[in-house]
Chains A and B, each alone.
Chain A
Amino acid sequence: MINESIDGFLHPNVRNSADQIFVNGKQWLLSWLTAAPGWVAQIVSSLINIFALLAVFLTLFALMSVLERKILGRMQNRYGPNRVGPFGLLQPVADGIKMLIKEDIVPARADKIVHFVAPVLIAAVAILALGVIPFGRNMTPFTIDGGILFFFAVGSATELAVFMAGWASNNKFSMLGAMRAIAQMFSYELPLIITVLPVVMVVGSLTPDRIVAAQGEYTLGVVPRWFVFTPWGAAAFILFFVSGLVESNRTPFDVPEGESEIVAGHMTEYSGFKYATFFMAEYLGMFAVSGLAVTLFLGGWHAPARVLELIPSYVWFFAKLSALLFVYIWLRGTLPRARIDQMMNLAWKFMLPMAFACIIAAAVWHYAGRGLRGWLWSLFVIALVYTALSILLDTRRKFAPRVYRFAE
């Protein structure tokens, strides 16, 4: 639970600082329940965690939806939303009210129950996945031995939810869109999971708290020992981030949705608040994947330098998370979308071998002593595989008439 420290020891200065203000607040709330039986306190403790998680991330979702439009507007040389409230900050409230009072249309031939369950499931899954990420010192909503595995196990239900949405709508576009989305998620789940393995190997644990703790030291007090600063970690981080882009259906990999081909994919037959739920689940999934990237490669809630540890840990976590989310928006404003065959080629021919190379490079780094020598050797492994793959996959063909292939 939230009050268990991973090293079992907290300096009194830390315990009373702003760093632990939320943990202490929870303790204070629970102290009202000392007379109640143990299971009541346990349930209330979980409820507090759940409430905090939902409050923080739904607020972040609202903020992100308006900031994304503002930043995209900035990149495209226009204002973006600026009418509702100061700087357009109340835009999500207006959007929410609009979505709530819209008519909820369910197609006559749709499978009513499955049509209803799909958006619920997809949102629930995204929230569950967020639960295992350490947001600050002693601030993991749900501590579990195999937290990383939990993240992916729960996340794998997304595919089923997408399929349910596509099938229950009883619409060709929905079904085709769902198929596309599932094909894409399956292909990129492999590099996504395999790039986590080097970190798990090096730390020797599947628990997110231990992975964060393993990145807590500093070389010379300035350079943090985050895994992203090792060659294998940098490569794995980039692969993980790209796979995360695909998993959350973001540009340049947003093919499950395409107005000119398959309308809105599996969400075609959803309107009103159900559509908003899908939208929310997509963003929550994005937060979850980015949060895991921060946990695995960017040192979790650790400060980038020893002196900066004065600033509370959760501030650092959310700063890193925001930086990653900004990159998501930035990419959306910059890149055109990829074709589905380009995406599949990238996943199977480049990302997967690179992900395996990361595992080998991490092993090399470990056995060469985790120092400078290991750093150079693992850089050598990564560079070697990268060069070999670039030569092998060089598809700069000569110009030729375009060949179309159709399903037979």
Chain B
Amino acid sequence: MSSAAFVIIAILTLAAALAAATLQKLMHATLSFALALVGVAALFFLLGAEFVGLVLIFVYIGAVAVLIVFTILLTRRDAGKDRSLNWSGALLAIAVFGGLTWAILKTQSVAIAAPHVRAVTVKRIGEALMSGYVWPLECVGLLLTAALIGALVLVMEEKR
């Protein structure tokens, strides 16, 4: 059952990713990209990593996809117009794909059977974040606060 689900989700994800890369309208491509991310989140669900899947949906669908959409709307006048094939982008994609494939084939760790781990619950993630990874967490928090304040400063009205 889970392998059948995997095949269905994988096909959907790949189709959406392909659509994102090839569709003529930029807005369609963005929406397909969001769909592909939903597929990836579903794969995480299938692996039992519910938290990661949920955060993926939360961050990428709820924030990043909307951000991309707004960026397209605010910066391009031809948001609805056609776009032509981007050869440099295609080359880059092929290069990344080739590199990743090479790395995956080269590595030994795929052959090693994964050790049996306990299901990762939200509680355990929280404990790990608050004990072992507290410094990285604080740094990320500081960075995000700085980004927030920076954004506010950028859009603040200039007092005359």
What residues make up the interface of A, taking CB atoms closer than 8 Å to B? 39, 111, 114, 144-146, 149-150, 152-157, 159-160, 163-164, 167, 170, 182, 186, 189, 204-206
A159 touches B31 (CB 8 A): no
**Interface residue B63 (Cβ < 8 Å from any Cβ of A):** yes
- Return chain B residues, CB-CB under 8 Å to A204: 123
Check: B6 CB closer than 8 A to any chain A CB: no
Contacts of B54 in A (CB 8 A): 146, 149-150, 153
**In the bound complex, do residue A205 and residue B50 qualify as a contact, i.e. CB atoms below 8 Å apart?**
no
Q: Give a binary string over B46-79; 1 marks a CB under 8 Å from any A CB, 0 the rest.
A: 0000110011011001110110010001000000
Interface flag for B91 (CB, 8 Å):
no
Q: Using known A-B contacts A114-B28, A149-B122, A206-B122, determine if residue A157 contacts B69 with beta carbons closer than 8 Å.
A: no
Q: Which residues of A contact B58 (CB under 8 A)?
A: 149, 152-153, 156
B66 near A146 (CB under 8 angstroms)? no
Which one of B50, B62, B80 contacts A157 once the chains associate, using CB atoms below 8 Å? Answer: B62
Across the interface, B50 reaches (CB within 8 A) one of A111, A114, A146, A152, namely: A146
Evaluate contact between B55 and A182: CB separation under 8 angstroms. Answer: no
Closest to A154 in B: B57
* Majority DSSP secondary structure for residues of A touching B: helix
Give 7 nearest A-B pairs by CB, closest first: A156-B62, A153-B58, A153-B57, A153-B54, A149-B54, A206-B122, A39-B1
Q: Count of A-B contacts with CB under 8 A?
A: 65
Q: Do B122 and A146 touch across chains, with their CB atoms under 8 A apart?
A: yes
Query: Which positions 1-35 of chain B face chain A at CB distance < 8 Å?
Result: 1, 25, 27-28, 31, 34
Chain A residues near B50 (CB, 8 Å)? 144-146, 150
* Alpha-carbon separation in the docked complex, A157 to B37 (Å): 12
Kindly identify which residue among A114, A145, A156, A182 contacts B31, using a CB–CB cutoff of 8 Å: A114
Closest B residue to A114 by CB, please name it: B31
On whether the beta carbons of A145 and B66 are closer than 8 Å, the reply is: no
- A289 and B20 CA atoms in complex are apart in Å by 33
Determine how close the nearest CB of chain B comes to the CB of A37; give it in whole angstroms.
Answer: 10
Scan residues 64-115 of chain B and give those whose CB is less than 8 A from a CB of chain A: 65-66, 69, 73, 80
Chain B residues contacting A170 (CB-CB under 8 Å) are 80
Q: Does B121 contact A (CB under 8 A)?
A: yes
B121 neighbours in A (Cβ, 8 Å): 145
